[in-house]
Every structure is written in structure tokens, then in C-alpha cells.
Amino acid sequence: MMGGTGNNNSRFSMLVKCPKCNAECHEEDSQTYECPKCGHQEPTDYGKVRTFLDENGNATAMEIARATGVPIGKIHSFLRNGRLEIPEDSDTYIECKRCGTDIRYGKYCPECANILKKELQDAFDLGTVGAVPKHNTGKMQFLNRDTRNQYTYDNISSYYKL
């Protein structure tokens, strides 16, 4: 596996206590925890994996897990999130979650990602997005086609944050 790029969202980081002073460490970057009290730094799981790959070159997930102590499930999540990639000439790959084809990183192959993107766009077709009522009369009526057509993709997509 090779190191990839990607952003780490510290909201999902585990609480880490400083081994020197027991204060709560904060994630300095995606590779390091730093103690605000004493300045001690500890590598994150991603930092351990990244350092191992930088020093040893490509390795299997099992080799990385054994050498770093990072759980294999966490290594797989790094692959799924695009933070690591499997080299082109590898014997094993991960599978697309939709069709099962081999991929080097991520969740979906390019073909399935395009299909899912189109399905999501189709789900927000103007005919399926309803208007928000201005007041509640409690009575049903036929949809006025002229009224329905006043909604454009732009104002609906901004309303639904598309």
C-alpha cells in the first residue's frame, strides 16, 4: 500500500491522553497528536501507517498492522476513505461496494460512482420535489401545472443544499 492524500476530520478522532502528563492531546494534523500542556507529540494511527510506508515501502495491510499496531479495520477504512491506495501491480485489491469489481482505493469504481451520481440527481428531479406550504388549509386539490413550473432547479437546489 502507498500513502495517499485526504483530509482528516478531527471530529472523529479518539480521545488521546498524553503519556507524560495525562492531559488531553489535540490532533495537530492528520498524523500527530500534541499535548497542549507539555508539548509531547504522539503519532495518530494514520501517522503510524504513513511513517511505516515511508520507511519500508509498499506492504500488505497485515504487515502494516503487525508492524504498527494499527487495527487492520482502521487500515481498510484508510483505503475506503482514499487516504491510502493499493499499488497498480498488487495481487489483491478491495472491491467496489456496488458491483464487486477490484479497485485500488475508495468505495466505488468509476462506473458505479457515475451511476450513483445520476440516480441521486434523478431523485431530485423537479417533479419529485414538493413545494413548502405557505399556510395549512388541510384540503387537497389538483396540482396547478403553471404553479408547479415556477420552481427552477436553481432555487430548489439551493433550498435543499444540492
pLDDT digits (tens, 9 = 90+) for 82-135: 999 999 989 899 999 999 999 999 999 999 999 999 988 887 776 666 777 777
Instruction: State how far the Cα of 27 lies from the Cα of 14, in Å rounded to an integer.
Output: 9
Report the pLDDT averaged over residues 11-24.
Answer: 77
H or E stretch covering 117: helix 110-123
Q: Please tell me whether residues 149 and 115 are part of one structural domain.
A: no
Please check the confidence at residue 72 and state whether its pLDDT lies above 50.
yes
Last residue of a domain, one of 85, 109, 140: 85
Q: What's the pLDDT score for residue 9?
A: 41
Phi, psi of 86 (to 5 degrees): -90, 130
DSSP-H helix ranges across 14-137: 45-56, 61-68, 72-80, 110-123
Q: Please tell me whether residues 3 and 75 are part of one structural domain.
A: yes
Q: Please tell me whether residues 27 and 59 are part of one structural domain.
A: yes
pLDDT-derived band at 141 (thresholds 50, 70, 90) equals low
How far is C-alpha 19 from the chain's CA centre? 30
Please check the confidence at residue 35 and state whether its pLDDT lies above 70.
yes
| Domain that includes residue 142, residue range | 129-162
Q: What's the pLDDT score for residue 113?
A: 95
Q: Please tell me whether residues 145 and 119 are part of one structural domain.
A: no
Q: Please tell me whether residues 108 and 150 are part of one structural domain.
A: no
Q: Please tell me whether residues 39 and 59 are part of one structural domain.
A: yes
